[in-house]
Structure formats: C-alpha cells, structure tokens
Amino acid sequence: MRAFGYVRVSSKGQVDGDGFQRQEEAILRYAGKHGVTLEKVYQEEGISGTKGEDDRPAFKEMVSDILKDGIQTVIVESLDRLAREYRIQEQLLIYLAANGIEVINASTEENVTEAVKSDPMKKAMIQMQGIFAELDKSLLVKKLRLARERKRKEGKCEGRKSYTETNPEVIREIKRLRRKPKGGKPKTYREVAEELNQRGFKTRTGKPFTGHIAQNILQ
C-alpha cells in the first residue's frame, strides 16, 4: 500500500522545533510495521487546528496530488494533528472520505475513516458531500463546454483555424480547378494539388499540397 503523511504545527514558532520530526517518526513507525510505502510527507507550517481545508495550503496540495496520483491513504500521528477541534476533525474526515481517501491514526493504528463510516449519520453526510462534489465537477465541465461553444461562435476559440479564415484563395482555386470543363473531365485531387504546388501555394504548415489535403479542404 502507498500513502502520504500529513503533519502540522499550530504556530510559526513551532516550525523550527521537534514537532515535525516527532510526527514523522510516528508515521514512519506505522508505515514500517504495516508494510506501507510512504511516498511524501506534507508539512502544514503554523496553521491553527481550528482552520478548515480552505485555509490549509499543504492539505489542499496533498488532496490534489492524491486525486491525481491514485494514492488513497493519509497517515497522521494523531487526530489532533489533523485538527484539534472535533468539529473541524469531523469536517476534514468527511471531506476526505467523500473523495475516497482514508485516514490512519498512527498512534492508535486505527483506520479513522472506517470508524466514521460506521456511524449512519456521518456515512450519510459523506454520501451527500460526495454527491455535491460530483455535482460541482459536472457543473464546471458544463460551464467550460458552454464557454468553448460561445468562443467558437464568436470566432475566438483557440485551435487550428480553417482555410476559410487563413487562406480563402486556396479554396477558390481548388473549386475552380475541380470544375468540369466542357467536353472534358474534372481534374483529380492529385492533379489539383500538383497545380497548386506549381503556382507556389503552401499548406498551413508550409508543406506542399497532396491530393488528400486538397480533398479534405473541401469536405
């Protein structure tokens, strides 16, 4: 099993003390005893235990890395390092559980998340928060999609522009060369490409035209 460690001291004056070292040693003892690979330890420097997740930069970085990396376990020395106030502890534990993240108390070797889930009311809160997290994600995806569509309609969407925008003369020439002459056959796309190249036309990337490119431009 892979895991992250989380350590916290409450004041700036404690940053240079032995608080971080003591907490890390407890986390490493647990990891060694249970065969856990500790990938990284996140240090919350001078952050009060009364602060929620929005006011904890290391906590937010850790959760972001967890969601990207696939690691689902966080080890703390004890729950008061996660938060000293019970209300904040509960808030953070429910937030983590809603994102599929388990918290291990190294001092008691307890899977705190499992204990929280055994409480029907807290389990319901975890499920509700998970629903709202998924809703927030869906709304964000929809918002971004609508923004892209709006920019596309306004002609400001990033990405490769069409020949209609960059070189409409090429389109006119291809159409002209493809017209069927009286009593004859229209030029093939390969022949159209050869004539474009002879006349000095280039593709958007500066390369010679091919029959396939000429055909795709009109489709």
DSSP string, 170-185: HHHHHHHHHSPPTTS-
CB atoms within 10 A of CB 191: 14
| H/E run at residue 197 | helix 189-198
Q: 38 and 105: one domain?
A: yes
Q: 60 and 75: one domain?
A: yes
Q: Which pLDDT does position 130 carry in this prediction? A: 44
How many angstroms separate the CA atoms of 114 and 166, rounded? 60
Structure tokens given for 11: 């004041």
Q: Which pLDDT does position 46 carry in this prediction? A: 65
* Structural domain that includes position 130: 120-158
How many angstroms separate the CA atoms of 23 and 8, rounded? 8
Q: 101 and 14: one domain?
A: yes
Q: 91 and 77: one domain?
A: yes
Q: 101 and 186: one domain?
A: no
How many angstroms separate the CA atoms of 30 and 140, rounded? 39
Final residue before a domain boundary, out of 118, 133, 149: 118
Q: 9 and 37: one domain?
A: yes
Q: 187 and 97: one domain?
A: no
112 neighbors 105 (Cβ within 8 angstroms): yes
Q: 189 and 211: one domain?
A: yes
Q: Which pLDDT does position 132 carry in this prediction? A: 46
CATH number at residue 62: 3.40.50.1390
Structure tokens given for 15: 């940053």
**How does pLDDT run across 134-166, given as a tens digit for each residue?**
555 566 667 767 777 777 666 544 555 666 666
Q: 108 and 133: one domain?
A: no
How many angstroms separate the CA atoms of 50 and 85, rounded? 6
Q: 196 and 126: one domain?
A: no
Global pTM exceeds 0.75: no
Task: From 218, 217, 214, select the one nearest 196 (Cα to Cα).
Answer: 214
Q: 60 and 80: one domain?
A: yes
CB atoms within 10 A of CB 97: 23
14 DSSP 8-state letter: G
Number of domains composing the chain: 3
Task: From 102, 51, 97, select the one nearest 73 (Cα to Cα).
Answer: 102
Q: Which pLDDT does position 181 carry in this prediction? A: 79
Q: Which pLDDT does position 166 carry in this prediction? A: 67
User: Distance of CA 42 to CAs 31, 33, 95, 154, 174, Å?
Assistant: 15, 21, 18, 44, 61
Mean pLDDT by 10 residues, the chain (219 residues): 88 67 92 93 72 71 82 88 76 81 89 77 56 54 72 59 70 84 81 87 83 80
Q: 138 and 209: one domain?
A: no
Q: Which pLDDT does position 137 carry in this prediction? A: 53
Q: Which pLDDT does position 165 carry in this prediction? A: 62
Residue the block writes with tokens 């035209």: 209
Residue the block writes with tokens 């904890």: 56
